[in-house]
Amino acid sequence: MLIDDHFNPRPTDIIVATSPKCGTTWLRALVFSIINRNSFDFNNHPLSKANPRDLVHFLEAHIRGDRSTVSIDGLLSPRLLSTHLPYSLFPKCMTDDASSACRFVYICRDPKDVLVSKWHFANKLRPKELPPLPLEEAFELFSNGVSHYGPFWDHVLGYWKASGEWPKKVLCLKYEDVKEPSGCVRKVAEFLGVPFSPEEEKKWIVEEIVKLCSFESLSNQDVNKSDTRSGENPMSNSDFFRKGEVGDWVNHLSPQMSEILDKITEQKFQGTGFSF
Ligand code: A3P
């Protein structure tokens, strides 16, 4: 309802969609640098001065009317926006392929790593008066589907099914592709209708983008080391960078927790063609 009331989709809109802690920061940076690759010098790039969340507007902040938010109505096309909303919550005019309104680039991640990342993040944001959230409690909530923006598995399935049905409208990526980022960058560029030309390949533009958006590069920018928080914005830029690794769950989850999550994943994704 909020989207209907406060958002006018354009056919050129590009929406970066994620369930929290699945690689939003990385994907925002990648898509921003892919579509703006002819506008900025890689040695003096906006990503070295601003956190990706300040360069890609957050749809939810706009539709709920956060005071600090720039109006997205006045942005030039193509607008690059970001969301955590599940696919099923978007109005038909945005998800129905026939209307061809906007495209979604989605990223998901192994739920075991998502849980660990969420747990660390939740403890960073937790009021100091409260004791830290125990991992066991975070595990119970997550495995029972209690997550921001809905159960993790349903979130993934919503976008995955849509990408199968409308491959020109929804592209699904996996965080684990961070291990092979150039393929991912080429895939996104092609999906968005701006593939890399042979000249760009010769100039190593794909590699420039991969380097610029890597965990090492972004987390070492001064702007992303900042841990300034305010009442209105309780998250600091540095909160979005922790380890950036695939498989860090082994350092936190018990074998029993990992088995339970794997079982839920197997059951939820059975027969869908999706796996991590
Ligand atoms: P970890 O907590 O496992 O380190 P989101 O951006 O959706 O909030 O997700 C945050 C997770 O992505 C964190 O994972 C964070 O470290 C990781 N991350 C942030 N920037 C990244 C980048 N450029 N490349 C890879 N991972 C990144």
**131 by DSSP, 3-state: which?**
coil
Domain that holds residue 48: 2-110+149-238
pLDDT tens column, 5-55: 899 999 999 999 999 999 999 999 999 999 999 999 999 999 999 999 999
Rounded percentage of the chain residues whose pLDDT exceeds 90: 83
Region 151-170: what's the mean pLDDT?
96
pLDDT at 241: 97
Task: Judge if pTM exceeds 0.90.
Answer: yes
Domain count, the chain: 1
Does some domain include residue 224?
A: yes
pLDDT at 102: 92
Does some domain include residue 83?
A: yes
Task: Return the ligand 1 atom nearest residue 241 CA.
Answer: 16
pLDDT at 225: 92
Region 108-124: what's the mean pLDDT?
97
CATH of the domain at 53: 3.40.50.300
CA 114 to ligand 1 centroid distance, Å: 10
Does some domain include residue 15?
A: yes
98: pLDDT strictly greater than 90? no
pLDDT at 69: 73
Task: Share the mean pLDDT of the chain.
Answer: 94
Region 208-217: what's the mean pLDDT?
97
pLDDT at 99: 67
Does some domain include residue 155?
A: yes
CA 97 to ligand 1 centroid distance, Å: 31
Sequence-ordered list of residues with C-beta below 8 angstroms from that of 20, at least 6 positions apart, any chain: 84, 118, 121, 147, 148, 149
pLDDT at 226: 80
Does some domain include residue 169?
A: yes
- Name which of 129-143, 193-207, 221-235 the model is least confident about: 221-235
Region 213-239: what's the mean pLDDT?
87
**Confidence band (pLDDT; 50, 70, 90) for 230?**
low
6 tagged catalytic: no
Ligand 1: which residues within 6 Å by Cβ? 18, 20-26, 29, 113, 117, 120, 178, 213-215, 218, 240-244, 248
**Confidence band (pLDDT; 50, 70, 90) for 211?**
very high
- Name which of 69-78, 135-144, 147-156 the model is least confident about: 69-78
231: pLDDT strictly greater than 80? no
Sequence-ordered list of residues with C-beta below 8 angstroms from that of 179, at least 6 positions apart, any chain: 246
C-alpha torsion sign, points 135, 137, 142, 147: negative
pLDDT tens column, 46-56: 999 999 999 99
Does some domain include residue 255?
A: no
Atom 19 (ligand 1) nearest CA: 241
Long-range contacts of residues 2-7, Cβ cutoff 8 Å, at least 24 apart: 2/63, 2/64, 3/59, 3/63, 3/89, 3/90, 3/91, 3/94, 4/91, 5/63, 6/62, 6/63, 6/65, 7/59, 7/62, 7/63, 7/72
pLDDT at 201: 98
CA 147 to ligand 1 centroid distance, Å: 18
pLDDT at 64: 87
Does some domain include residue 258?
A: no
Does some domain include residue 174?
A: yes
ipTM above 0.90, yes or no: yes
pLDDT at 87: 97
232: pLDDT strictly greater than 70? no
Task: Return the ligand 1 atom nearest residue 214 CA.
Answer: 23
